[in-house]
Each structure stands twice: as C-alpha cells, then as structure tokens.
C-alpha cells in the first residue's frame, strides 16, 4: 500500500509519514531473502522509522518501533541489541490490558527470536513456547498468517 505524502508543511505530519514509510519497508524486507545491501536497507529503514516515531509518536508507536528494531537486530545477528529492545517492548505489551491477540503474539515471537540471537537458550525456549501459545490464541486467521511469517524465521529450540 503506497502512502500519500502530506501536502501540509507541518513537520509533525512529515514525521508520521516517514515513520510509517520506514516501518512498512522494514517489515516488508524482514520477510524477504536479502543480500548485504538489503540487510543495510532493512536496518536503516527500521531505525529511521523509530527516530521519526520518537519525534511524534505515542508510547504505543514507540513500542511498536521497538518491536521492529528487536526483530531487525535479531535477523542480523545483533543479539544483545535485539534482546534489549525485545525485553522492553514485550513487558509493555504484556502489561497492557487492551493489547490485541495478534500484537501480543508478535511481541512473544520477536522476543523468542531476540533471545535466540543473544544466545540465551533457556529464554529462547520459554519464549518460543509462549509464542506458540500466543499464536494459537489469535482469533482471526488473517492476523495469524501475518504473525506466522515472522514466527517462521525464529529457529525452533
């Protein structure tokens, strides 16, 4: 889905536009086979999105950006950084009473991946089991399919 740039010169609108653009591109790249240039673009897009959300986003936007950063760093083998992002965002989503089932599952999946990348075997195993349970609890099949694209990248214990 193409994003239409704002016509208003308000910088906040442009921050939101570029935050969404970077987010969408990074998630798109995260489930593709990439070469070194693709990995670089993936990392840049995720960090650009997070930077723009930091400027204008809500706490939810910033936590979603943290989820993306955790996944990207896990994919690229930056385990310590991935786990740092993953711990904060997972705690946030678990604490929110209104977290949708798909988003809670994403948080668990990304945490499991980050724990794997960080070499934290027991946390990876527990996170993987929590991700499987959260995936099974997603009511909507389309939502489950979207989360499964990311879950398939997490090595099984």
pLDDT score at 50: 98
Other CB atoms within 10 A of residue 145 CB: 10
- For residue 13, the model assigns a pLDDT of 84
| pLDDT for 14 | 79
Q: What are phi and psi of 105, to 5 degrees?
A: -65, -45
Beta carbons of 102 and 143 less than 8 angstroms apart: yes
Give the model's pLDDT for residue 149. Answer: 95
Structure tokens given for 86: 């993953």
pLDDT of residue 6: 66
Measured from the Cβ of residue 140, the count of other Cβ atoms closer than 10 Å reads 11
Q: CATH number of the domain at 25-151, please?
A: 1.25.40.10
Cβ–Cβ under 8 Å, residues 24 and 3: yes
Split the chain (157 residues) into runs of 10 and give each run's mean pLDDT. Answer: 72 87 96 96 98 96 98 98 98 96 98 98 98 98 97 97
Which is nearest to 66 in space by CA: 25, 3, 31, 111?
111
| Residue position matching structure tokens 């999946």 | 109
């Amino acid at each position: 889905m193409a994003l239409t740039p704002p016509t208003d010169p308000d910088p906040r609108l442009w921050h939101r536009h570029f935050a969404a653009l970077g987010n969408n591109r990074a998630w798109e790249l995260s489930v593709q086979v990439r070469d070194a240039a693709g990995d670089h673009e993936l990392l840049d897009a995720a960090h650009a999105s997070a930077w723009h959300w930091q400027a204008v986003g809500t706490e939810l936007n910033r936590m979603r950006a943290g989820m993306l950063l955790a996944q990207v760093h896990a994919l690229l083998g930056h385990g310590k950084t991935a786990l740092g992002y993953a711990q904060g965002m997972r705690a946030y989503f678990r604490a929110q009473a209104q977290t949708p089932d798909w988003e809670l599952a994403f948080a668990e999946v990304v945490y499991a991946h980050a724990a794997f990348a960080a070499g934290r075997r027991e946390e990876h195993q527990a996170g993987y089991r929590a991700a499987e349970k959260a995936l099974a609890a997603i009511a909507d099949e389309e939502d489950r399919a979207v989360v499964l694209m990311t879950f398939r990248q997490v090595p099984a214990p």
